[in-house]
Amino acid sequence: MSDSARFERLYREHRAPMLAFLLRRCAQPADAADALSDVFTTAWRRIDDIPDGDAERPWLFGVAYHTLANHARSRRRRVRLVDELTAALGRFRAPESDLDSEGLESALARLSDVDRAIVTMTAWEQFNSVEIGAILDLSPGTVRTRLHRARARLRAALESEAPDRSAV
Protein backbone atom coordinates (compact mmCIF):
# COMPACT_ATOMS: atom_id res chain seq x y z
CA MET A 1 0.00 0.00 0.00
CA SER A 2 1.36 3.42 -0.93
CA ASP A 3 2.02 6.06 1.74
CA SER A 4 -0.79 8.17 0.33
CA ALA A 5 -3.29 5.31 0.41
CA ARG A 6 -2.23 4.35 3.94
CA PHE A 7 -2.60 7.93 5.13
CA GLU A 8 -6.05 8.24 3.57
CA ARG A 9 -7.12 5.01 5.29
CA LEU A 10 -5.76 6.21 8.64
CA TYR A 11 -7.58 9.50 8.24
CA ARG A 12 -10.89 7.87 7.29
CA GLU A 13 -10.72 5.33 10.13
CA HIS A 14 -9.43 7.52 12.93
CA ARG A 15 -10.62 11.07 12.15
CA ALA A 16 -13.99 10.86 13.95
CA PRO A 17 -12.80 9.17 17.17
CA MET A 18 -9.73 11.42 17.20
CA LEU A 19 -11.89 14.53 16.83
CA ALA A 20 -14.15 13.34 19.66
CA PHE A 21 -11.06 12.76 21.84
CA LEU A 22 -9.80 16.28 21.08
CA LEU A 23 -13.20 17.97 21.50
CA ARG A 24 -13.51 16.53 25.01
CA ARG A 25 -10.16 18.08 25.93
CA CYS A 26 -10.30 21.48 24.20
CA ALA A 27 -12.16 24.56 25.38
CA GLN A 28 -13.17 25.54 21.84
CA PRO A 29 -14.12 23.37 18.84
CA ALA A 30 -11.72 25.41 16.70
CA ASP A 31 -8.87 24.38 19.03
CA ALA A 32 -9.82 20.73 18.54
CA ALA A 33 -9.88 21.22 14.78
CA ASP A 34 -6.41 22.81 14.88
CA ALA A 35 -5.10 19.95 17.00
CA LEU A 36 -6.65 17.39 14.62
CA SER A 37 -4.89 19.06 11.73
CA ASP A 38 -1.59 18.97 13.63
CA VAL A 39 -2.03 15.28 14.50
CA PHE A 40 -2.58 14.27 10.90
CA THR A 41 0.18 16.56 9.67
CA THR A 42 2.51 14.71 12.04
CA ALA A 43 1.12 11.39 10.85
CA TRP A 44 1.81 12.31 7.24
CA ARG A 45 5.33 13.53 8.06
CA ARG A 46 6.06 10.36 10.03
CA ILE A 47 4.04 7.86 7.98
CA ASP A 48 6.95 5.39 8.01
CA ASP A 49 7.11 5.53 11.84
CA ILE A 50 3.47 4.56 12.37
CA PRO A 51 3.31 0.93 13.48
CA ASP A 52 1.08 -1.47 11.56
CA GLY A 53 -2.00 -3.23 12.84
CA ASP A 54 -3.44 -2.72 16.30
CA ALA A 55 -0.56 -0.43 17.34
CA GLU A 56 -1.42 2.36 14.87
CA ARG A 57 -4.43 3.65 16.84
CA PRO A 58 -2.53 4.09 20.15
CA TRP A 59 0.33 5.70 18.21
CA LEU A 60 -2.04 8.28 16.68
CA PHE A 61 -3.70 8.99 20.02
CA GLY A 62 -0.25 9.38 21.58
CA VAL A 63 0.49 12.01 18.96
CA ALA A 64 -2.83 13.66 19.82
CA TYR A 65 -2.00 13.66 23.53
CA HIS A 66 1.38 15.28 22.90
CA THR A 67 -0.17 17.75 20.45
CA LEU A 68 -2.61 18.86 23.16
CA ALA A 69 0.30 19.32 25.55
CA ASN A 70 2.14 21.43 22.95
CA HIS A 71 -0.98 23.54 22.37
CA ALA A 72 -1.40 24.04 26.13
CA ARG A 73 2.23 25.16 26.45
CA SER A 74 1.77 27.57 23.57
CA ARG A 75 -1.41 28.96 25.12
CA ARG A 76 0.33 29.45 28.48
CA ARG A 77 3.23 31.17 26.73
CA ARG A 78 0.83 33.53 24.89
CA VAL A 79 -1.01 34.34 28.13
CA ARG A 80 2.30 34.98 29.89
CA LEU A 81 3.44 37.31 27.10
CA VAL A 82 0.14 39.21 27.18
CA ASP A 83 0.46 39.53 30.95
CA GLU A 84 4.02 40.84 30.53
CA LEU A 85 2.81 43.37 27.98
CA THR A 86 -0.03 44.35 30.30
CA ALA A 87 2.49 45.01 33.05
CA ALA A 88 4.85 46.87 30.70
CA LEU A 89 2.04 49.03 29.37
CA GLY A 90 0.35 49.44 32.76
CA ARG A 91 1.44 53.05 33.02
CA PHE A 92 -0.75 53.87 30.02
CA ARG A 93 -4.04 53.05 31.66
CA ALA A 94 -5.99 54.54 34.48
CA PRO A 95 -4.62 53.30 37.82
CA GLU A 96 -8.00 51.99 38.93
CA SER A 97 -8.60 50.06 35.71
CA ASP A 98 -9.68 46.43 35.92
CA LEU A 99 -8.45 45.72 32.40
CA ASP A 100 -7.50 42.10 31.82
CA SER A 101 -5.53 40.33 29.11
CA GLU A 102 -8.54 40.29 26.79
CA GLY A 103 -8.87 44.05 27.17
CA LEU A 104 -5.25 44.50 26.20
CA GLU A 105 -5.61 42.17 23.25
CA SER A 106 -8.68 44.11 22.13
CA ALA A 107 -6.88 47.44 22.52
CA LEU A 108 -3.84 46.16 20.61
CA ALA A 109 -6.12 44.86 17.85
CA ARG A 110 -7.30 48.44 17.25
CA LEU A 111 -3.77 49.44 16.17
CA SER A 112 -2.48 48.94 12.65
CA ASP A 113 -0.23 45.92 12.12
CA VAL A 114 2.89 48.10 11.95
CA ASP A 115 1.97 50.15 15.04
CA ARG A 116 1.14 46.98 16.99
CA ALA A 117 4.51 45.53 15.94
CA ILE A 118 6.32 48.68 17.06
CA VAL A 119 4.57 48.75 20.44
CA THR A 120 5.05 45.05 21.14
CA MET A 121 8.68 44.98 19.95
CA THR A 122 9.38 47.90 22.27
CA ALA A 123 7.62 46.28 25.24
CA TRP A 124 8.39 42.59 24.78
CA GLU A 125 11.74 42.48 23.04
CA GLN A 126 13.06 45.79 24.38
CA PHE A 127 14.14 46.80 20.87
CA ASN A 128 15.10 50.44 20.34
CA SER A 129 13.96 52.59 17.43
CA VAL A 130 17.08 51.80 15.36
CA GLU A 131 16.56 48.04 15.74
CA ILE A 132 12.82 48.25 15.04
CA GLY A 133 13.54 50.46 12.03
CA ALA A 134 15.91 47.83 10.66
CA ILE A 135 13.33 45.08 11.20
CA LEU A 136 10.41 47.02 9.67
CA ASP A 137 12.42 48.93 7.07
CA LEU A 138 11.58 52.32 8.61
CA SER A 139 13.79 55.18 9.70
CA PRO A 140 14.41 55.43 13.47
CA GLY A 141 12.66 58.82 13.47
CA THR A 142 9.58 57.31 11.85
CA VAL A 143 9.60 54.52 14.43
CA ARG A 144 9.77 57.03 17.31
CA THR A 145 6.93 59.09 15.83
CA ARG A 146 4.76 56.04 15.19
CA LEU A 147 5.51 54.68 18.67
CA HIS A 148 4.46 57.97 20.27
CA ARG A 149 1.21 58.05 18.28
CA ALA A 150 0.54 54.33 18.77
CA ARG A 151 0.96 54.67 22.53
CA ALA A 152 -1.55 57.52 22.55
CA ARG A 153 -4.05 55.42 20.55
CA LEU A 154 -3.37 52.41 22.77
CA ARG A 155 -3.88 54.51 25.90
CA ALA A 156 -7.22 55.76 24.52
CA ALA A 157 -8.25 52.22 23.59
CA LEU A 158 -7.28 50.91 27.04
CA GLU A 159 -9.23 53.68 28.74
CA SER A 160 -12.30 52.87 26.63
CA GLU A 161 -11.95 49.18 27.62
CA ALA A 162 -11.81 50.02 31.34
CA PRO A 163 -15.06 49.68 33.30
CA ASP A 164 -17.01 52.89 33.78
CA ARG A 165 -16.39 53.87 37.40
CA SER A 166 -18.74 56.87 37.29
CA ALA A 167 -21.74 54.50 37.18
CA VAL A 168 -20.80 52.99 40.56
Q: 27: domain range?
A: 3-75
What's 62's domain CATH number?
Answer: 1.10.1740.10
Q: Are residues 104 and 62 in the same domain?
A: no
User: Is residue 70 a part of any domain in this protein?
Assistant: yes
Q: Are residues 103 and 149 in the same domain?
A: yes
What's 140's domain CATH number?
Answer: 1.10.10.10
Q: Are residues 111 and 46 in the same domain?
A: no
The confidence band for 165, taking pLDDT boundaries of 50, 70 and 90, is very low
pLDDT digits (tens, 9 = 90+) for 19-36: 999 999 999 999 999 999
User: Is residue 80 a part of any domain in this protein?
Assistant: no
Q: Cα–chain-centroid distance for residue 104?
A: 14
Q: Are residues 71 and 94 in the same domain?
A: no
pLDDT digits (tens, 9 = 90+) for 56-104: 999 999 999 999 999 999 888 988 888 888 877 765 554 444 445 677 8
Q: Cα–chain-centroid distance for residue 105?
A: 11
User: Is residue 110 a part of any domain in this protein?
Assistant: yes
Residue 91 CA: distances (Å) to CA of 149, 152, 164: 16, 12, 18
Q: Are residues 98 and 68 in the same domain?
A: no
User: Is residue 81 a part of any domain in this protein?
Assistant: no
What is the residue type of 117?
A: A
pLDDT digits (tens, 9 = 90+) for 101-155: 677 888 888 888 889 999 988 888 889 999 999 988 999 999 999 999 999 998 8
User: Is residue 84 a part of any domain in this protein?
Assistant: no
Q: Are residues 17 and 70 in the same domain?
A: yes
pLDDT of the residue at 46: 96
Q: Which of 42, 75, 108 is at the close of a domain?
A: 75
